[in-house]
Amino acid sequence: MKRFLFTFFIFSFAFQLSSQRISKQQQEKLASALSLVSRYYVDSIQENKVIESAIVGMLESLDPHSKYLSAKTVKGFNENFSGGFVGIGVQFQIVKDTITVVRTMTGTPAEKVGVLPNDKFIQIEDTLVAGVGIQYSDITKKLRGKKGTPVNVKIKRGRQKELIDFRIIRDKIPLNSVDASYMVTDKIGYIRIDLFGAKTHQEFINALQKL
């Protein structure tokens, strides 16, 4: 039954590719590779893991901003956007297998201790996290925890040779979309949306009504 499902996936995947600008030869190459792994690998395989790894590899070959998010990861993002979480307050991307800070959220523990955009996480507690194929879900598990508990990280900053040690105390990270709102002139209002989440629309309406 498993072999049938795996073969069905290959057929379905190839069918979907046929409508895109991918040559028949390249489609057959991919389908053949998946089929050979399924048939001849020395041990049993986790089909879902193999397929997801293939998708990750495809997207990583494009550019640093193309990423595959598993259902588990998306679920975590959706939970975050619904209200908040306990953590350190950084937005990050994995660039060349390294956790790179995109920004620190205003008023959060990470901002307070001095974490900056483009800082690179090398170690979290005693675990090396750079160059080891770490996933988004693994990072969030390490950075989050109970409110008031510490997390120790080592960060590489720019061209500095020495790593920077940070001890960051986890706290509740509210996900407020509207960061600022005020009247610039009598006729011009300014509303700054910091991030998008489940409550963005209502926060914007509330801010607009208060201008």
Span 74-91, pLDDT tens digits: 776 666 666 668 899 998
- Res 4: pLDDT: 41
Q: Which residue has the higher pLDDT, 2 or 160?
A: 160
- Res 48: pLDDT: 80
Lowest mean pLDDT among 46-50, 121-125, 150-154: 46-50
> Does the pLDDT value for residue 69 go beyond 50?
yes
| Rounded Cα gap, residues 155 and 196, in angstroms | 27
What percent of the chain lies above the pLDDT cut of 90?
34
What value does the mean pLDDT take over residues 66-71?
78
What value does the mean pLDDT take over residues 191-202?
82
- Catalogue all structural domains in the chain, each as residue range(s) with its CATH number: 2-60 (no CATH), 86-174 (2.30.42.10), 178-210 (no CATH)
pTM recorded for the entire structure: 0.53
